[in-house]
Structure 1
Amino acid sequence: MTDSGHQGFATRAIHAGQEPDPTTGAVIPPIYATSTYAQDGVGGLRQGFEYSRTGNPTRRALEECLAALEGGRHGRAFASGMAATDTALRALLRPGDHLIIPNDAYGGSFRLIDKVLRPWGVEHTPVALSDVDAVRAAVRPNTKVIWVETPTNPLLNIADIAALSQVARSAGARLVVDNTFASPYLQNPLELGADVVMHSTTKYIGGHSDLVGGALITSDDELDAQFGFLQNGSGGVPSAFDAWLTLRSLKTLEVRMEKHSDNAERVAEALTRHPRVASVLYPGLPEHPGHEVAAKQMRRFGGMISFVVEGGEEAALEVCSRTRLFTLAESLGGVESLIEHPGRMTHASVAGTLLEVPAALIRISVGLESADDLVADLLSALS
């Protein structure tokens, strides 16, 4: 990895792993659209490359940059956030093991844990991760992983990463943090004691709704070796083009996250004053129960907001159908603003479980449009 730990975030985002091409002088790393590499004799690999599932120069540049931004020694890029999640959990868990998950976890993560790992023999316990004592009480002798989202998707709850890292360490477990909502710019879990950071790079890191990807970052050499083995053995790797698109996006991550945060603060403030809004879930609001912890471990509070409308599910569905700038769509973190109904869309997989989300809940991903226009669009939809 490029020795860039002393440099500012934007400098690392633009330069880490991205030296000008030594052959042509190109300042942007090339897209190495190749499946295989010529060898100088049997086993004579050039810079270690033999086959692009195992390694690709564009992907390696991305992995070095991601590691630098999270303050880790190692980065691994994957074809999706779920591929990264699956790799992390299969590396860390075996049949008979137990993990603790948020009681409001992302629906896709819960589906993997409940429908794939549980039949494999892995037990899980959903816990309110904002309650450190409750997490400590949920630890069992066979607990191997505490899986953290902060802020959570979609209820925007906050977990104290430093406190949970101590719980994990005392239990001999690993703390893995899904840092997708915050991005490496707003929060760095490794610095707070986490063992592994996971990203769906599809979201804020990609930032333009034009790629799908995932990543794992760690400073543990043994864990990285396990991730690398599964990355190659399972083959869930991104294409060179997707790796290149992600590198392109990282260069503007800092300025985008600042604007996302600016706009979200304006939108959240407007929603709190609307009579049809029962509650606003945004860690940047002083009344949010996780505000103090978020302020301690995040640079700012990000671009994700959830809110509950008066009138139940039908009212929420009506609001989702009436926006014009907020596009009704799944996913998040792009330059355009999105709105969705988690209960019917991204979190349908948790219906009927302890993780079921409120029927009147709406989740919005606040984009980079004019804040005045976004506020006007939501107020119109609520009127």
Structure 2
Amino acid sequence: MADDSARWGFETRAIHAGQDPDPRTGAVIVPIYQTSTFAQDGVGGLREGYEYSRTANPTRTALEVALAALEGGTHALAFASGMAASDVALRSMTRPGDHVILGNDAYGGTFRLIDKVMTLWGVEYTAVDLSDLDATRAALRPTTKVIWSETPTNPLLGIADIAALAAIATEGGAKLVIDNTFATPYLQAPLSLGADVVLHSTTKYLGGHSDVVGGALVTSDSDLNDQFAFLRNAAGAVPGPFDSWLTLRGAKTLALRMERHSDNAERIVETLLRSDKISKVYYPGLSDHPGHEIAAKQMRRFGGMISFSVAAGEQAALDLVSRTKLFTLGESLGGIESLIEHPGRMTHASTAGSPLQVPADLVRLSVGIEDSADLIQDLVSAL
């Protein structure tokens, strides 16, 4: 069945790619192979290639086949977290003395990994506004090995032109990595636009239910995939079978959920725009968003993430996030439930004092799939 997946629509791939009924029992859902090791038929006589679950596990394999199919890639590797996937990608593609170009509106954890860990290994980086193609091209060095971009970005919802960045990366002999966590493979397909690697925190929309932590790297470059797989096995940052199963289960309904997330976000944006207590709304679906035209070109819809600035400043923003009832104050995003947070004090605290520091009056919403009228009333009451 998996050989047919390239012809299937997204929703069909999400349910069937890599997920044939179990040949022994007929189970229609991939089993949880909760085992650490596998019996061998003589020394080196592996059954279906499995020997030890750090290296490979059938439940994880099913997830990886599905993720590759959803992103339109030929290879996918699952990890214990999005940061584990980021770490393996960076360590595989750089060596001491190499250079990375990073978006100047990057996730705080990515910035921390590069600024506090990779630099100890001798890797240098430059933070650039990746929507400024001239500035991005100017930042290239002979030692540049990676351009690392989120689009949309976290938390300011900036948009980068993936095809244009891919051309710049090729010109500079670098690889383009796109963190597709916010958009998901349902809303955006970076590999088809020229990206070399797609990264996901599968904790977020792909898992979708705030009950699992995971990450993934997807590529159509066999050599890169081999490097990632070697380091993942050597370092051991793999998800367990149950985590893989939960993520695979979540991915089955991704298309349905992303439509609802997007519907709800659009209605909430309309409400925020009418409030005199909000000074600015960040959402790529707005016609006056600086990246709107590019987002409309490379995304199916604009997603469920919204950020906004509170007119009265930081304390008012902190007060607001403590008053909502349906929007739960918490880090992370992409679950069925709505979340609210203060990036400057929470997810992006690690960027304080750096060029990536976020505005103190900023609030970020991860809009869930609840009734939009209830969510709007909750925000209006809190405001």
| Mapping for residues 224-303 of structure 1, pairs under 5 Å | 224-303=225-304
Q: 2:144 matched to 1:132?
A: no
The 1:339/1:101 distance shift into structure 2, 3 A limit, reads same
**Which residue number corresponds to residue 343 of structure 2?**
342
* Equivalent AA in structure 2 for residue 93 of structure 1: T
Number of the residue aligned with 2:178: 177
1:86-126 per-position Cα deviation (integer Å, ceiling 9, x unaligned): 00000100000001001010000000000000111000000
Q: Unaligned stretches of 5+ in structure 1?
A: none
Shift of 1:192: 0.3
Give the letter aligned to residue 253 of structure 2: T
Which secondary structure does the structure 1 equivalent of 2:247 belong to? helix
Structure 1's consecutive aligned runs of 4 or more residues displaced over 6 angstroms after TM superposition are none
CA distance in 1, matches of 2:273, 2:235: 46
- Structure-2 separation of matches of 1:366 and 1:54: 36
Q: 1:197-212, aligned counterparts within 5 Å?
A: 197-212=198-213
Deviation at 1:5, TM superposition (A): 1.2
2:382 maps to what in 1?
Answer: 381
Q: Give SS of 2:100's match.
A: strand
**Match for residue 55 of structure 2?**
54
> SS at 2:363's partner residue?
strand
SS state at 1:4 partner: helix
CA distance in 2, matches of 1:140, 1:272: 42
2:371 alignment partner in structure 1: 370
* Percent identity of equivalent pairs: 71
Name the structure 2 match of 1:42: 43
**Contact 1:205–1:249 (CA<8 Å) still a contact in 2?**
yes
CA contact (8 A) 1:98 1:124 kept: yes
Q: Secondary structure at the residue paired with 2:272?
A: helix
Using the alignment, how far apart are the partners of 1:379 and 1:225 within structure 2? 51
2:313 is the alignment partner of 1:312: yes
| 1:75 maps to 2:76 | yes
CA distance, structure 1, for counterparts of residue 3 and residue 205 of structure 2: 23
Q: Does 1:112 align with 2:113?
A: yes
Deviations 1:29-64 (A, max 9, x none): 100000000000000000000000000000000000
Instruction: Please tell me whether residue 26 in structure 1 is matched to residue 27 in structure 2.
Output: yes
- Contact 1:203 1:331 (C-alpha < 8 Å) held by counterparts: yes
Distance (whole Å) between structure 1 residues aligned to residue 98 and residue 158 of structure 2: 26
Q: Which amino acid in 2 is paired with 1:133?
A: D
TM superposition shift of 1:83: 0.2
Per-residue deviation, residues 140-190 of structure 1 (Å, max 9, x unmatched)? 111110000000000000000000000000000000000000001000100
Partners of 2:131 and 2:371 lie apart in 1 by: 33
Contact 1:2 1:64 (C-alpha < 8 Å) held by counterparts: no
Determine the structure 2 residue equivalent to 1:87.
88
1:155-174 correspondence to structure 2 within 5 Å: 155-174=156-175
How many Å separate the matches in 1 of 2:145 and 2:371?
Answer: 45
The 1-side partners of 2:159 and 2:170 are apart by 20
3-state SS of the aligned residue for 2:7?
Answer: coil
Counterpart Cα distance in 1 of 2:265 and 2:248: 25
What is the CA–CA distance in structure 2 between the aligned matches of 1:352 and 1:380, rounded to whole Å? 33
Question: How far 1:311 moved relative to its partner?
Answer: 1.2
Whole-angstrom CA distance in 2 between matches of 1:29 and 1:253: 17
> What letter is aligned with 2:213?
V
Structure 1 residues 145-164: aligned runs within 5 Å = 145-164=146-165
1:99 aligns with 2:96: no
Cα distance between partner residues in 1 of 2:321 and 2:221: 43
Report the alpha carbon displacement of residue 2 of structure 1 after superposing the two structures with TM. 3.9
- 2:6 counterpart SS class: coil
SS of structure 1 residue aligned to 2:119: helix
Instruction: Give the number of equivalent residue pairs.
Output: 382
Q: Secondary structure at the match of 1:325?
A: coil
Partner in structure 1 of residue 326 of structure 2: 325
1:16 corresponds in structure 2 to 17
Seen in structure 2, the aligned counterparts of structure 1 residues 134 and 298 have a Cα distance that, compared at 3 Å, is: same
Q: Hey, what's the Cα distance between the residues in 1 that align with 2:267 and 2:95? A: 46
SS at match of 1:5: helix
Deviation, 1:3, is: 3.8
**Does residue 1:6 correspond to 2:7, yes or no?**
yes
2:354 pairs with 1:353: yes
Amino acid at match of 1:209: S
Cα distance in structure 2, aligned partners of 1:226 and 1:322: 47
C-alpha RMSD over aligned residues: 0.6
The aligned amino acid for 1:126 is A
